[in-house]
Amino acid sequence: MLTEFHYLAPDLECTRRLGQRLGALLFPGAVIGLEGPLGAGKTCFVRAVAVGLGIHDPRLVTSPTFILVQEYPARWPMHHVDVYRLRSPQEFIDLGAEEWLGGAGVCLIEWADRIRDVLPEDRLDVVIDVSGAQQRSFHAAAHGPRHGQLLADWARSMQP
């Protein structure tokens, strides 16, 4: 089973394609932890995942930095969480995380490294690094069997 996947997206269109293909493969209960510096494109990537999940209007997907959690109707409910402003993992749990993690929808968490200790063991972590004006480097690591299969399918979908 594949546990790691690296992808270099030379431009925004490749980043969108990468996210859309991941979104098309997600399943109920999927948890995607996103990491990367400010401006790396985490929300842009989430918007692309939403397209792959079949969201009606991807323009609705915005950063939940101040709202903390947004839910979007798609093939499965998509919970988009930003924990940047939280002071502790307990605050994440207090927001109702148990409802989103492992539920009937999918959960994408920006700044997931800040709450890693309370995330499910079976999840996919995606680190986005800025490597040029529009170029991004993606490093994905699967934890657990379901997300390992997801990672393998995602990597296969990106092969030419």
Domain interval for residue 104 = 4-157
Report d(CA 32, CA 145) in Å as an integer.
Answer: 14
What is the model's pLDDT at position 67? 62
Q: What are the tens digits of pLDDT across the range 130-144? A: 999 999 999 999 999
Residues with Cβ within 8 Å of 159's Cβ and at least 6 positions away in sequence, in order, are: none
Question: Does 65 or 15 have the greater pLDDT score?
Answer: 15
CATH of the domain at 89: 3.40.50.300
Report d(CA 73, CA 106) in Å as an integer.
Answer: 11
Instruction: Provide the residue count of the chain.
Output: 160
Query: Residues 79, 61, 153, CA angle at the centre, nearest 5°?
Result: 60
Res. 66: pLDDT tops 60: no
Q: Which is nearest to 5 in space by CA: 133, 128, 132?
A: 128
Report d(CA 12, CA 6) in Å as an integer.
Answer: 17
What is the model's pLDDT at position 128? 98
pTM: 0.92
Q: What are the tens digits of pLDDT across the range 77-129? A: 999 999 998 889 999 899 888 888 878 899 999 999 999 999 999 999 999 99
**Considering its fold, how many domains does the chain have in total?**
1
